[in-house]
Amino acid sequence: MGELLGVAVLGAGHMGADHIRRLDRVVSGARVAAVADPDTARAEAALGGIGGASVHGEAEAALAAPGVDAVLIASPGPAHEEALLAAFARGLPVLCEKPMVPDPAGALRVVEAEARLGRRLAQIGFMRRYDTGYLRLKALLDGGELGRPLMLHCTHRNVSSPPHFTSAMLINSSVSHEIDAARWLLGQELTAVTVLRPASSARSPEGLADPQFVLFETERGALVDVEVFVNCGFGYQVRCEAVGETGSARIGDDHGMLVTARGRAHEEVPQDYLVRFADAYDREVQSWVDATRGGRVTGPGAWDGYAASVVAEAGVRSLESGGRVPVALAPRPGLYGPGGR
């Protein structure tokens, strides 16, 4: 496919460093051309001696660096809007980690800017769309074997939450994955959300509403429920069961090995999302590199980032009020198709 794609990576934290490693060591057809981080020493460290990449303190300088063909945004969420708009201004394709933009108003500005450009440049980092299990479930639903989908039952559990994790972040950081996955699996927008609070676990930090139970309604009447429990203690578990008119299907229960010892047959449960979804991250970035080199955008786009932002914000309001909150999306620009998502 010719020259390697030169990628500017914005942000050299945990996720940025992992993407730098992936672009350099795992993915075919790309190279790291520039890294930007306010902490340039951290950027140097993340590079780890990879040759041919420049280091910058400012995102803008990285976008302007020689050899940059595309951008991967892994900086903190509040910096995303400015970075996306700068990439659009230069006509650079972008892979932007989620959340695209945390607040709905900013997310809408990104959608509108891309719509004015008249062509799609942004892919948003909803990597579950690249997980083998989700891909099989999507294919099954689209193939019609289960009939019309009526319900999705989802589970999202983490061993423990990082410091400073808030009750709202269970919705807008954790459940945002299920928001996108539900929209994608069902091919429908979410129209309302209700957040219920069971008793919080004594193992969760004081004041954190954890677990939560979230209910989404969709435009054609399906119901999506999500247990989110970020201090479950025993592992990282992401499961999804789709129930249709003629059958059901469940992903997330498989195991790599069954061990029988000390009176029990047990399966390993992964402890971390980078383990559970390692292959999905690899496939996501490879797919983005391949499409970008071919001049295409094939993954979830700015509209998906915007819709997730609006639904998550409604969810946070429901968490606070205890009641059902309708979801109100702006009209979808023609760039994103009538029903394409």
Interface of this chain with a copy of itself, residues 68 to 127, rule: CB under 8 A: none
Regarding 291 and contact with a copy of itself (CB under 8 A), the answer is: no
Task: Specify the residue, 4 or 110, whose C-beta has the smaller distance to a copy of itself.
Answer: 4
Q: Which residues pair with 36 in a beta bridge?
A: 10, 56
Cβ neighbours, 10 Å, residue 323: 9
Q: Find the shortest distance in angstroms from Cβ 246 to a copy of itself.
A: 5
Task: Specify the residue, 132 or 321, whose C-beta has the smaller distance to a copy of itself.
Answer: 132
Task: Specify the residue, 119 or 255, whose C-beta has the smaller distance to a copy of itself.
Answer: 255
Task: Specify the residue, 299 or 305, whose C-beta has the smaller distance to a copy of itself.
Answer: 299
Task: Specify the residue, 39 or 268, whose C-beta has the smaller distance to a copy of itself.
Answer: 268
Q: Yes or no: say if 138 and 300 are a contact pair by the CB < 8 Å rule.
A: no
Cα–Cα dist 309/104, whole Å: 5
The token pair that represents 184 in the structure block = 């994608």
Q: Find the shortest distance in angstroms from Cβ 102 to a copy of itself.
A: 28
Regarding 181 and contact with a copy of itself (CB under 8 A), the answer is: no
Q: Find the shortest distance in angstroms from Cβ 245 to a copy of itself.
A: 4
Cα–Cα dist 278/18, whole Å: 10
Options 66, 162, 207, 263; binder of a copy of itself; rule CB under 8 A: 263
Options 290, 329, 330, 333; binder of a copy of itself; rule CB under 8 A: 290
Q: Yes or no: say if 191 and 150 are a contact pair by the CB < 8 Å rule.
A: no
Query: What value, to the nearest 5°, has the Cα angle with vertex 317 and ends 218 and 222?
Result: 10
| Class of residue 17 by CB neighbours under 10 A (exposed 0-12, middle 13-18, buried 19+) | buried
Of residues 132-151, which lie at the interface with a copy of itself (CB under 8 A)?
132-133, 136-137, 140, 145-148, 150-151
Q: Find the shortest distance in angstroms from Cβ 22 to a copy of itself.
A: 9
Cα–Cα dist 154/144, whole Å: 20
Q: Which residues contact 65 (CB under 8 A, 6 or more apart)?
A: 8, 33, 34, 54, 56
Number of residues that bind a copy of itself (CB under 8 A): 72
Options 162, 163, 264, 339; binder of a copy of itself; rule CB under 8 A: 264
Q: Find the shortest distance in angstroms from Cβ 105 to a copy of itself.
A: 31
Options 69, 82, 85, 213; binder of a copy of itself; rule CB under 8 A: 213
Cβ neighbours, 10 Å, residue 174: 24
Regarding 66 and contact with a copy of itself (CB under 8 A), the answer is: no
Task: Specify the residue, 221 or 340, whose C-beta has the smaller distance to a copy of itself.
Answer: 221
Could you tell me which of 192, 186, 190 has the C-alpha nearest to residue 148? 186
Q: Find the shortest distance in angstroms from Cβ 195 to a copy of itself.
A: 11
Cα–Cα dist 330/214, whole Å: 23
Regarding 250 and contact with a copy of itself (CB under 8 A), the answer is: yes
